[in-house]
Structure 1
Amino acid sequence: MTPMTADRPQMSVEEFEELASRAPENVRLEFINGKVQVKPVTDGDHDQIIAWLQRMCMQHRPELWLYGERGMKVERYRKGRARPDGVLAPFGFPKGHGEWSDAPGVLMAVEVTSFDADTDRRDRIEKPDGYAAAGIPVYLLIDRDDCSVTVFTDPEDGRYRRQLKEPFGASVKIPVPVGFTLETEELKEFVG
C-alpha cells in the first residue's frame, strides 16, 4: 500500500477496487479525493426517498432509469470511485460495465444525506467536486438535515458553476439534459 502524504492517495485505484470487492455485503466503500471512505448503510426513509425519486423519473422520463448504488468512476486526477445513491441514465446504461461505470451517458447523480458525522464533507463538498470532474451534468442533493433539495449544474474545471437550493415542498426545476420539475412536498414525510 502506498504511504499517505498530503498530495498522494492512500492507495492505488487497483488496490481500492480489490479492497472494495472483498468488503462485507453491509459495507460500501468509496475512493474520493484519494481516500477510502465508508458509505453508511441506508435507513428506510432514505430508501423510500430513492424509491420516490425513481417513480418521479419514470413518470417524466420513461426512457431513463435511476440506477441505485451504481459504482461510478469519478475524479479524473485521482481516479476516484463513488457509489451514488442514484444515477439517472438511459435504460441499459450499465450493461457490460462490471462493477464501476464511466460517467459518459449519466445525466444526473443523486445523493440523499445520511445522519452521520461525515455527510457534510462527503455529500456537500467532495461528491459535487467528484461528479463535476467526471462531467456529470447534474448533481441532485436531497438534504434531510435542513429539508432542502439542491440542484448543481454546469460542471466546469471540476466544479459545478451553478446551484439552486429549495426547501422541501417547493417545485424544483431540474434543467436539461434531465429536463423536468420535481414537486417535493412528499419529501416532508421522510424527515423526523
Structure 2
Amino acid sequence: MSITDNWVADAFEAIELPRRMRLRLTRNGLTVVPVTQAHVTTQMRIFSQIDSGLPGWMPIGEFKVLPAREGYKPEPDASVVREGQWNAGSSEFDEGSLPFVVEVVSPETKNRDYNTKPDHYALRGIPAYLIVDVLAATWTLLTQPEDGTYQCTQSGPFGKEIAIPVADQTLTLDSAQFMRI
C-alpha cells in the first residue's frame, strides 16, 4: 500500500455522512450513494430469511471483505458467517469465511454491481454472488468461481425462490419479499 492509499483510507474513515447515505471507495475514487427504503427493506428481509432459514449461520451486513486487493475492500450488503466464528467488534471479514455475498442494486451502483463486482468476488473465490436488482425487480445468482470468473448464472423475477448453496445446506430466499423501487 502506498502513501496515497493510506491517505485515501484515512480520509474514507474520517468522513461522516447522514445515515441515509453510504460512502464507497472504488477504483475510481470515493462515491456517495443514497440508500433508498427499497434497499434497506430488502436487505432487512434477506437478513430475516437467513436468520430463519440457515441454522448455524449468522447474517452480517455493513462490513468489508479482507484482504484488500488492489487497495480495494468490497462492502457487500449481506452475507453470513458461521455462528461462533466471528468477532462482534469487527466490521471486516476474511473472504474465505464467506460462502456468498449479496449486493442490492442502487441507481449509482448498478454498473459496478453487474460488471465490476463479479470479477472481484470471483477472484476472491467466494462461492456465490447474488445481485438483487430493486430497480428491475430481478435477481441474478452467480456461482462456481473459476479463474476469476463465475461459471454459472441463474436469473429470475422477484417472486421466484433463490437457492444458494451454503456449505452442506441450501439457503432458500423468497424474492417475493424483496421490494422494488
TM-score, normalised by the number of residues in structure 2 = 0.84
Cα separation, partners in 2 of 1:108 and 1:185, compared to 1, 3 Å: same
Corresponding residue for residue 157 of structure 1: 147
Q: Is the 8 A contact 2:79 2:98 kept in 1?
A: yes
Q: Is the 8 A contact 2:62 2:91 kept in 1?
A: no
Residue identity in the other structure for 1:16: V
Q: 1:155 deviation in Å?
A: 1.1
Residue identity in the other structure for 2:149: R
Corresponding residue for residue 44 of structure 1: 37
Q: Is the 8 A contact 2:163 2:172 kept in 1?
A: yes
Cα separation, partners in 2 of 1:63 and 1:105, compared to 1, 3 Å: same
Superimposed CA distance per residue, residues 114-144 of structure 1 (whole angstroms, 9 cap, x where no aligned partner): 1x2x323211111111111111111111111
Cα separation, partners in 2 of 1:31 and 1:67, compared to 1, 3 Å: same
> Between the two proteins, what is the percent identity of the paired residues?
25
Match of 1:83 among 59, 70, 75: 75
Corresponding residue for residue 181 of structure 1: 172
Aligned length: 176
Q: Matches of residues 106-185 of structure 1 in structure 2 within 5 Å?
A: 106-114=98-106, 116=107, 118-177=108-167, 179-185=170-176
Structure 2: where are the runs of 5+ without partners? none
Residue identity in the other structure for 2:173: L
CA distance in 2, matches of 1:29, 1:127: 16
TM-score, normalised by the number of residues in structure 1 = 0.79
Q: 1:99 deviation in Å?
A: 4.6
Corresponding residue for residue 66 of structure 1: 59
**TM-align CA RMSD:** 2.3
Structure 1: where are the runs of 5+ without partners? 3-10
CA distance in 1, matches of 2:9, 2:86: 17
Higher alpha-carbon deviation: 177-186 or 51-60: 177-186
